[in-house]
């Protein structure tokens, strides 16, 4: 008989009163109720405290230390949870009624499971569905080192649709606090050597996008620095733990991501805006052998990501593949 597991949801928040109540209600309206909902409010100045007080009989409220950055607040939120399995859930996202049921089901697939991930929908500020996202490139059960290497170009899970085994997360180092903006990606990478990743191919959440401005423009400096931390700190440590001696995949992915960021920046920033951005790229471009491309970028040129015909075809086919997969699931 499978053990009875407990499940906790942590919701870090700051001035998200426009969405927080909908988030709380979605977590309360579950086919399998959570054992614990903890709202971590970083001293919000809007009506967030009043919304939390409204549901005080069904949720628990905590406050991180004043001045905590994003990573520190999220790590504090996780430390406040007591469940066998836990998730962090953004205070502007929506959990579908099957959210906890599906994630808990995934925990039973393998005894060494440390992370369960599922599908999600991208939604706008009004909750309108913009796209439906399945992880078509991952397998139902992914063991180490494949679960680590698959993370090399970005997180293979959504922050709105995952759960982790709490004691293993603590053993792996907890929620990363050394990052300026990234959190879920390094967390998934550092968890990989400790066990298997499970994928449940159901849509379980709505991930709010586009309502808080152009994040790429606002956070590019943070993201460039965090990318380098991923490739020169997080991945090497995880590779050590996974006893991987071949690190060429790390170097190759670092170069590919550097070029990808430069390509995006060449579309986003005008030539007269690029001097400061080029300075941000300099250490990364030097380490990855991309200085010639950085010179093109700095001089106002367009940087393009080199792609094969197969990769281009996959990119074009991706939206249709998701729609086809969603249609097949509705028929079954």
Domain of residue 246: give its range: 215-298
Model pTM? 0.91
pLDDT tens track for 176-201 = 888 999 989 999 999 999 999 999 99
| More confident position, 294 or 70 | 294
Residue 67 CB-density burial (10 A; 0-12 exposed, 13-18 middle, 19+ buried)? exposed
**Token digits for 177?**
């606090």
Among 182, 208, 234, identify where a domain stops: 208
Distance between CA atoms of 44 and 51, rounded to whole angstroms? 11
Residue 177 has what pLDDT? 86
Residue 67 has what pLDDT? 86
Q: To the nearest whole number, what is the mean pLDDT of the chain?
A: 92
What's the mean pLDDT in 274-280? Answer: 95
Residue 69 has what pLDDT? 84
pLDDT tens track for 213-234 = 788 999 999 999 999 999 999 9
Contact 235, 189 (CB under 8 A): yes
What's the mean pLDDT in 239-258? Answer: 96
User: Residue 309 falls within a domain, yes or no?
Assistant: no
User: Residue 314 falls within a domain, yes or no?
Assistant: no
The number of domains in the chain is: 2
User: Residue 294 falls within a domain, yes or no?
Assistant: yes
Q: Residue 108: which CATH number?
A: 3.90.550.10
Do 234 and 94 share a domain, yes or no?
A: no
Q: Strand locations in the chain, DSSP E?
A: 7-13, 36-41, 60-62, 85-88, 94-95, 113-123, 129-133, 141-142, 162-165, 196-208
User: Residue 277 falls within a domain, yes or no?
Assistant: yes
User: Residue 323 falls within a domain, yes or no?
Assistant: no
Residue 319 has what pLDDT? 61
Among 208, 228, 254, identify where a domain stops: 208
């Amino acid at each position: 008989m499978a053990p009875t597991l407990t499940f906790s949801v942590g919701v870090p928040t700051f001035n998200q009163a426009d969405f927080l109540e909908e988030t709380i209600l979605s977590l309360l309206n579950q086919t399998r109720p959570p054992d614990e909902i903890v709202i971590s409010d970083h001293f919000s100045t809007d009506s967030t405290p009043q919304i939390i007080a409204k549901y005080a009989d069904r949720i628990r409220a905590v406050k991180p230390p004043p001045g905590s950055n994003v990573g520190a607040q999220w790590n504090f939120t996780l430390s406040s949870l007591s469940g066998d399995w836990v998730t962090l859930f953004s205070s502007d996202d929506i959990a579908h009624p099957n959210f906890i049921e599906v994630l808990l089901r995934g925990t039973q697939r393998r005894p060494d499971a440390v992370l369960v991930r599922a599908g999600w929908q991208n939604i706008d500020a009004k909750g309108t569905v913009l796209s439906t996202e399945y992880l078509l490139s991952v397998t139902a059960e992914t063991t180490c080192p494949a679960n680590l290497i698959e993370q090399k170009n970005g997180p293979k899970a959504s922050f709105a649709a995952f759960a982790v085994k709490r004691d293993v997360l603590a053993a792996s180092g907890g929620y990363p606090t050394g990052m300026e903006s990234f959190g879920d990606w390094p967390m998934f990478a550092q968890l990989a050597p400790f066990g298997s990743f499970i994928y449940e191919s159901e849509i379980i959440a709505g991930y709010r996008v586009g309502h808080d401005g152009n994040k790429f423009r606002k956070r590019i400096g943070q993201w460039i620095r965090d990318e380098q931390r991923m490739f020169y700190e997080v991945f090497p440590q995880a590779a050590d733990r996974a006893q991987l001696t071949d690190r060429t995949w790390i170097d190759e992915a670092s170069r590919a991501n550097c070029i990808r960021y430069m390509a995006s920046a060449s579309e986003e920033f005008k030539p007269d805006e690029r001097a400061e951005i080029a300075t941000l790229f300099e250490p990364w471009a030097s380490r990855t052998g991309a200085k010639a491309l950085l010179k093109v970028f700095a001089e106002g040129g367009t940087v393009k990501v080199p792609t094969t015909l197969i990769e281009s075809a996959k990119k074009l086919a991706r939206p249709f593949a998701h729609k086809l997969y969603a249609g097949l699931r509705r028929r079954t």
